[in-house]
Amino acid sequence: MTTPIHFGFFSSFSPPAWQAGSDRMYGSDWWSGEYHARLAQRAEDANFDFMFFEDTAAVSTTVGGSIDMDLRYALSAPKNDPVALLSYLAGQTTRLGLIATASTTLYPPFLLARLYSTIDNLSRGRAGWNIVTSSENESAQNFGLDALPPTNERYEIAEEFLEVVRALWNSWDEDAVVRDQENNVYTDPTKVRAIDHLGKHFKVRGPLNSLPSPQRTPVFAQAGGSPRGRDFAAQNAELIMSTTIGGVEAMKAFREDIHGRMKKFGRDPKECKVMYATHLYVAESRADFRSSITDSQLLSVLGKHSAHLGVDLNQFPLDEPFPQDVVANGTTSMVESLKDKGRRGQSLRDAIIDFNWGDDELGLVGPASDVAQNLVSAMEEAGGDGYIIMATQDANESHLSGIFDGVVPELKRLGAMRTDYSGNTLRENLFAF
């Protein structure tokens, strides 16, 4: 028997099974919200701590220089707004935490503070915010910018953004709403105040015009990879996410680095959960699974990662190591990881298969009992607070069933996954152990 760790479910408000090898029309009515509602209910029945939605805000031209590839392979579009989806899921679930991504480079802080406060109220305290600064110029160009500001400046803006939204969420005292019928007072005006923020990037009067929510602030999730991004996460986040790419050593190094940075900022490492996003696949064997990957699958997967990295991966030979002189435009840490795999002689094909279908190093492709045991062993070795299981464009019934009917019962049998919710809010559940 082992101690329980936390599990999140990583999704996207976009077509689910489009890159799967079979059953590609599974969840084809995704835009109605029904597919994700069913998925959220399944995740809740399985006692996942939360469901997490990634987001970007553009039809990308990164691959091939026009929007053609992005649309053709459903890489980053179509994608509907996950913040809106959370309102729907709030009514379709009762215990599951609900985390959506929103960018500090693109949102005005007042709008974001009001939205997440509303969702936290609708879900009775289950809202989380994945704080990103965005990685694509095309997204910036949809919001009046010519290009994304450089990384350091994006995080400087994000710092001020957090200052503003925190002030807005605190602009109402907990007991401001009195609903005093006798004296005809709904809200006590002495308990609500303007914030009068005037900074380098934002000018916001306040107060917020929505009332405090059960958690008051959504759970802050962040996944900075660069040194500046990690500092930002270590200073502010309650949930810091990385990936399992690079195996146990990289996971361990990430966690130690984050804990070191937290201490530097005067925070106790216990104030933040470190979780690793990972793919896993239930199959007879890894070899079986690898040989089932079709060329058309590989092509669209390469396109998907190109869009994410800001580098057109289709220009490099598939069966040679990734070149060392590539400069990242988007997610720098993933490009560095590809280079590292290249240095070790791994072909781009194998590196991308690992990226997309679960890194061999952890042994997360195979029979459900092996996958569960390997998840547990890696966590014991690396340290860390849990995993975020990713199932996005490859999610069809057989894949999902492998997770929910295969790996989850095995994790529970091992004592590695909770069997009930202990708290009412996302924060309570996340910090229950």
Ligand X SMILES: Cc1cc2nc3c(=O)[nH]c(=O)nc-3n(C[C@H](O)[C@H](O)[C@H](O)COP(=O)(O)O)c2cc1C
Per CB under 6 A, residues contacting ligand X are: 54-56, 101, 130, 132-135, 151, 223-226, 229, 241-243, 277, 331-333
Cβ of residue 52: shortest distance to ligand X, in angstroms? 8
Cβ of residue 12: shortest distance to ligand X, in angstroms? 8
Q: Which is nearer to ligand X, 331 or 425 (CB)?
A: 331
Q: What is the rounded CA–CA span in Å between residue 57 and residue 401?
A: 30
Q: Which is nearer to ligand X, 331 or 373 (CB)?
A: 331
Cβ of residue 236: shortest distance to ligand X, in angstroms? 13
Cβ of residue 177: shortest distance to ligand X, in angstroms? 33
Cβ of residue 98: shortest distance to ligand X, in angstroms? 14
Q: What is the rounded CA–CA span in Å between residue 282 and residue 366?
A: 5
Q: 129 near 220, Cβ under 8 Å?
A: yes
**Which contiguous run of DSSP H or E holds residue 85?**
helix 82-92
Residue in the shown chain whose Cβ atom is closest to ligand X: 229
Q: What is the rounded CA–CA span in Å between residue 10 and residue 14?
A: 12
Q: 128 near 218, Cβ under 8 Å?
A: yes
Instruction: Please list the alpha-helical segments (H only) found in 213-280.
Output: 227-236, 247-264
Cβ of residue 378: shortest distance to ligand X, in angstroms? 16
Helix (H, G, I), strand (E, B) or coil at 208: coil
Calculate ∠ Cα 143-145-150, nearest 5°: 120
Sign of CA dihedral 362, 366, 370, 375: positive
- Residue among 380, 371, 429 at smallest CA distance from 403: 371
Q: Which is nearer to ligand X, 59 or 223 (CB)?
A: 223
Q: Which is nearer to ligand X, 283 or 338 (CB)?
A: 338
Q: What is the rounded CA–CA span in Å between residue 18 and residue 271?
A: 38
Q: Which is nearer to ligand X, 176 or 390 (CB)?
A: 390
Q: 274 near 254, Cβ under 8 Å?
A: yes
For residue 365, count other CB atoms closer than 10 A to its CB: 26
Q: Which is nearer to ligand X, 56 or 346 (CB)?
A: 56
Q: Which is nearer to ligand X, 104 or 117 (CB)?
A: 104
Q: What is the rounded CA–CA span in Å between residue 325 and residue 323?
A: 6
